Each structure stands twice: as C-alpha cells, then as structure tokens.
A and B are shown apart, each in its own frame.
Chain A
C-alpha cells in the first residue's frame, strides 16, 4: 500500500475497498485527508499512508432537494432529498461526505457536533459506480 501514489485515484481505490485513508507528511507530521502528493507547507513529497479510524463528528450539513442529473437518476428529488456535509475526523482533519441516517424531514433537528462513523456507499443507480464516501450517526 505504501507504494501507491498519494493521489485522488488511490484515495478512490481505497474507498472502493472499504478503507478511508489519509497521508502524513514525514517532514512536518501534518495529516491530510484526502491524501495529497505534495505537502503544501513543506513542499516535500515525503508522505506515508495513514488508515483513518472512520470516527468523527458532524461539523455542518445540508439536505439537497435539487439534485444534479446523476443523482436525479438515482431517485433523489424534491420529495426525496439527500444530505451532504462536512465531518471532522477523530484525527483532526475534515472530509466532505454524503450523509445517511439523518432525519431530513425535520432538518432543524439534526444536531451538529454529533458523533458520526464512516460508511462506504456503492455509487450509481445500480450500485456499480465508484464508492462514495459517506458518514452516518455513530452506533452507541
């Protein structure tokens, strides 16, 4: 795994295999999710892969009722919105993700700060597309 380039393509391959991966700069120790090929602070490419715990908390969210065409094809609509948001991982970095398991009929009731856990969503109308990074409220 350490041989894989620190690219979006590799990040996606990891997601497809059910792993949320970041990378750490061996020079300044900064952690990045998604991974990046060059540390923007050190401008060095001394990265190593880090498996993320998949635990985090909800920083911000929205429920979308006007989907782009691809998500419309998956059945999302004004009457069937989907949620996306920002999750701060336990390790301190953030990711954007699709959100499952939230009460979208009453978005006011969705509590920011609540614990979340990763879920890997099979993409596309028939589930054969790229895996989409998702999070859902963490089980107690």
Chain B
C-alpha cells in the first residue's frame, strides 16, 4: 500500500467567490449559486472564458429535505450555463462541499480536466427550527436519532465529556463565541455582523424603546450567562454556542499548477489534503475527539510535508463552540485538553499566534451546510492573498492556510492545506 499519498499533478485555486450568507426568503439555490459564481468570476485576476470550465462538482447535503427538491447538480449547472458538461453532486452531511472540492482536485490531478468548478449550496431557512433539527439529525448515526439525539444534543454530550475530562466549563465556550462575533463583525458576507457588545446594546435600546426596563449586563459573559438572553438548547450548549440556520452558496475554480499563470499570478496551491471517516457516539473510542479529523489531518500533513505549527491561519468547523475547541486539538494546533486554554488566552484571535475562523466561522458567517466547506476555502483565498480587508490577519509572511470541514457527528471530516508559493 502507498501510505504516503500524493497528487499525480499539482492543483491550484485560481478563483473564489461566495454569496452573502443569511436568511433570504426570496432566493432559491440557483439565485444564491449565481451570486457566488459571479463573485468568483470577478476574482479571477486575468479573467477567463467560463466556457472553458469542463465539469462541476457540487456539494449539497439535504435540499431534498429542506426545499423538497433533489438532484441539484444539473440544475445548478444549467443556472451558470454549463450544460451539457458533467455535473456531480456530493453528499457528506455538513462536509458535502469539501467532498466536492476533493473530487475536483482529484479530477484535475488525474489529468482528466484542466478547469473545474467546485461549489456548494444549501437553502435551510424555509423550514421551522424543529424541522431543521430533524433534517440535520438525518446525518446522525441511526441509534442516536432513535433515542432522541439532535445535532446540538450530540455536541452537548461531547461538551459534557470534555468538561468532565479536562475541567473546562461554560465560560470557556463563551470565549469561542466572543471571538467569533469579533470576526463576524468584520465580514461583509457574514450572517451576523455584530459584536456581542453591540448586540447587548441593541437589546437595551429595544427594551428602552418599548418602555420596558433595560437589561444590564456587566460584560459579554454576563450576557451569555443570562438564560433570558441566551437560553439553553442542549446542555451545556446555549443559543450562542450554536451556528444559525442559513442559506448560501460558494464556489472556487481549480486548475493544474502548470497553467495557473493564465488565470492569476497569485494562485493558492493545494499543498495537502485528507479525508477521514468516523463512528457514532456508542462506538468511538474517545468522546472528546473526532477520529475522522485526526485521520484527515495526518493525511494532509504527510502529503504537504508541513506540520501543525506551519499552518498560519485556519478555518475550522465550529458548528458548536465546543467543536472549535476540539478541532484545535485534533488538528495538532494545541495538545489535548489545551484547546480551551488557548482560546481563553487569545491565541486564536485574529492577532493571536493561530488565528482561527477569521470569517466569523459557522457561528457568525453562517452555516448553509452544503456550502460551508467551499466557503472556508474562499476565506483562506482572501487571507493568503492579503485581500481580507478589515479582518486580514496582521501576520508577516502569511503563506500557509488550511480548512477543516466536519460532516454529521464526525462521520466525515476533511482537512486541506493551502500554500502561496
């Protein structure tokens, strides 16, 4: 067996775009993907003819359930004028478009294609919160759904095990949330573009306008500890520990490195990529880590020859605050049990040693599940090219970034390392 995986030819990202993420009652998946596509077209420095795109790989988890329409590959392909080229939908729960990205990379690395569009889309907001919970729970393992687990429930259980093992508590989850909002504030595509301090003041003003007594909170943690402002969802997770219900789309353009300069002088190289699979809560060895993430990371680090310390900026799958802490450990950025301390010490802030989720993450940027994996690549594209505007990480010599996407209860995870050369 070839244990040291490598691509048969190098692959680069030469364009990247996304729609705004949020709740858009008037827009369907086609509308959102067209916005992402147009954003991507504008990002290709030297321009190109979209007729040269040879195939589409599209991540979509469950529009079947959310909007009662399946088979989105050709529908989206038609929306952006790619008929009759091949269009393939990938499904890996919340990691669906990371799988599309991987298929696109493999298709180019194999020599089959020279220009591939990969993307993702999801429209979730047309369903009630309970129905979305049910739809997402389709991606738990069967035993979990049968006894009543929801997605927040799975991560609530995970948080309880993490707290018990390492002595962390709710205040450490709050550190993640506060940081997410500081970043989301600076992302014009994010669903929540406000800091917690701003949201607190808005609630005070709203109460005052109604003539009601204005709530007072000493600081962000007092606000997050107030059950009126931040009700429980799945102990110990509360509303502000959970990503929102979102609509959105994202896409990137892939080419072999050999022709990268036809499109841009600043491509992102896919330095390494990995994908892993994991088991349900009853069968996993450790409730405080995700074996699929660890497998994906090992593969990507080996392929790239890079180590966790080389990754300068990273988007991780913070579907819940506890998840971000665990990913920091599974990806090797901090030792097991130290993730929550790193967040508390500010190491994962934009100006920290390991900036995490500069986009605002799933929590604030939003989580249209099928679009998330590719939207993470869009953020790293902006950061490594120095085009992230107000939220640009201030690090000197920024060269290596990464994306981590998780599907289901850790059943599917990917990790991809990007490099500017």
Contact = CB atoms under 8 A, between A and B. Distances in A.
Pair from one complex = yes
Interface of A: 8, 33-34, 59-72, 78, 81-82, 84-86, 93-98, 104, 107, 112-113, 130, 132-134
Contacts of A63: 156, 232, 234-235
Q: How big is chain B's contact interface, by range?
A: 35 or more
A68 B147 contact: no
B143 A95 contact: yes
Contacts of B133: 66-68
Given A63-B156, A64-B153, A67-B130, 10 more contacts: A33-B282, A62-B235, A65-B231, A68-B150, A78-B231, A81-B235, A84-B147, A84-B148, A85-B157, A132-B147
Given A84-B149, A94-B283, A64 B156 contact: yes
Which of B161, B231, B237 has the largest number of chain A CB atoms within 10 A?
A: B161
A23 B152 CA distance: 30
B336 interface: no
Contacts of A72: 130
Interface in B122-137: 129-131, 133-134, 137
A25 B129 CA distance: 42
A70 B130 CA distance: 10
A33 B283 CA distance: 8
Interface in B340-397: none
A84 B158 CA distance: 12
Given A62-B156, A112-B161, A67 B131 contact: no
A60 B146 contact: no
B75 interface: no
A112 B160 contact: yes
B282 A96 contact: yes
Contact of B164 (A34, A60, A130, A133): A60
A134 B147 CA distance: 8
A112 B164 contact: yes
Contacts of A67: 130, 133, 148, 150
Interface string B206-217: 000000000000
B234 A60 contact: no
A70 to B, nearest CB: 8
Contact of B129 (A34, A66, A98): A66
Interface string B38-59: 0000000000000000000000
Q: For B133, B153, B234, B236, which residue has the most chain A Cβ atoms within 10 angstroms?
A: B153
Contact of A60 (B134, B147, B161): B161
Contact of B160 (A61, A130, A133): A61
B153 A62 contact: yes
A69 B134 contact: yes
Interface centre among A60, A82, A112, A113 (most CB of B within 10 A): A60
A72 B148 CA distance: 11
A95 B142 CA distance: 12
A107 B283 contact: no
A85 B282 CA distance: 10
Given A67-B150, A72-B130, A94 B282 contact: yes
A86 B157 contact: yes
A97 B281 CA distance: 11
B280 interface: yes
Interface string B54-83: 000000000000000000000000000000
Contacts of B143: 34, 95-96
B144 interface: yes
A71 B131 CA distance: 12
Given A84-B147, A86-B282, A95-B282, A64 B160 contact: no
Nearest to A12: B146
Contacts of B281: 60, 86, 94, 96
A73 to B, nearest CB: 10
Given A60-B158, A60-B160, A95-B143, A65 B280 contact: no
Given A64-B153, A66-B130, A96-B282, A107 B148 contact: no
Contact of B157 (A61, A82, A113): A61
Contacts of B222: none
B233 interface: yes
5 contacts: A65-B232, A66-B129, A66-B130, A67-B130, A112-B164
B287 interface: yes
Interface in B289-307: none
